[in-house]
Chain A
Amino acid sequence: DAGVIQSPRHEVTEMGQEVTLRCKPISGHDYLFWYRQTMMRGLELLIYFNNNVPIDDSGMPEDRFSAKMPNASFSTLKIQPSEPRDSAVYFCASSLVESNQPQHFGDGTRLSIL
C-alpha cells in the first residue's frame, strides 16, 4: 500500500519567496495533519483536517502560513512570504476516523529558507 506521500522532499529558497508543500494522504483516511519539526521546538502540530474541513489551526504560527485540502487526496501547506525561521522539516500524516487509530507519517519536506 502506498503510504503518505509528500513533495518536494527538499526545498531551498530565498526569504520572501512563496513556498508550497504538498501531501497525498493514504486513500480512505479521513484525518490529515500537518506538523513542523525543529531541534528547538520538537514536533509541533500546525493544523489538522477532518473530511477536508480544517478542525484546529491553532498551531499555525502566523498569517503567513495557510493550509488547504481541496479534496480527500490532496493537501497543501503554503508559506508566503517565507522567512529563515521557517526552516524546518514539515511532516504530513493521515489517519482513519475510528478512534485511537495511529497516524501514518510521510517522509517529510526539509525546508531551508536562506
Chain B
Amino acid sequence: AQSVTQLDSHVSVSEGTPVLLRCNYSSSYSPSLFWYVQHPNKGLQLLLKYTSAATLVKGINGFEAEFKKSETSFHLTKPSAHMSDAAEYFCVVTLYNFNKFYFGSGTKLNVKP
C-alpha cells in the first residue's frame, strides 16, 4: 500500500529564515515523489519531483528536497523564506510506472514579516 504523511499541518516562519516542511511516505515499490504548492484560489503547481535519479532534487523558487530511503522521507526545504512562499504545500507519492497520485493532507506555510 502507498501513503504519504505530512507531519505538520501548519508551519510558521519569519521572512528570511529557513523553511522545513516534512513528509514521510510508505510504498511497497520504488516510489516517485513530488511536492506541489497551492496559492489561494489557484490550482496546484509542481515545485519539484524525484524519480530515482539524484537524491537531492532542486525545484523552482529556491526550494529543494532530499530523498532518504532509509528514513522514508522527502522533506522540502528552502534556505530563506519569502513572503510570497506563504501557501499550502502538498507531498505526493506515486508508484513507478503508474500515474495515480497519493496526496498528503497538506502543510500551510505562514511567513511573518
Please tell me if B67 contacts chain A, counting CB pairs below 8 Å: no
CB <8 Å contact, A42 and B105? yes
CB-nearest residue of chain B to A43:
B103
Contact with B along A60-88 (1 / 0, CB 8 A): 00000000000000000000000000000
> What's the Cα separation between A100 and B99 when bound, in Å?
7
> What's the Cα separation between A4 and B32 when bound, in Å?
22
Please tell me if A103 contacts chain B, counting CB pairs below 8 Å: yes
What is the total number of residues of chain B having a CB less than 8 Å from a CB of chain A? Answer: 22
> What's the Cα separation between A43 and B106 when bound, in Å?
9
Instruction: Decide yes or no: A100 and B43 within 8 Å by CB, A43-B103, A45-B100, A48-B100 being known contacts.
Output: no
> What's the Cα separation between A95 and B99 when bound, in Å?
8
Please tell me if A34 contacts chain B, counting CB pairs below 8 Å: no
CB <8 Å contact, A56 and B44? no
Instruction: Please give 7 more A-B residue pairs, beta carbons under 8 A apart, in addition to A43-B103, A103-B99, A107-B43.
Output: A4-B43, A43-B106, A48-B100, A50-B99, A93-B44, A100-B94, A106-B43
B interface list, Cβ under 8 A from A:
32, 34, 36, 41-46, 49, 51, 90, 94, 96-101, 103, 105-106
A–B complex contacts, Cβ < 8 Å, 24 sampled? A4-B43, A33-B101, A42-B103, A42-B105, A42-B106, A43-B90, A45-B100, A56-B100, A91-B43, A91-B44, A93-B43, A93-B44, A97-B99, A100-B49, A100-B94, A100-B96, A100-B97, A101-B99, A103-B44, A103-B101, A107-B41, A107-B43, A108-B41, A108-B43
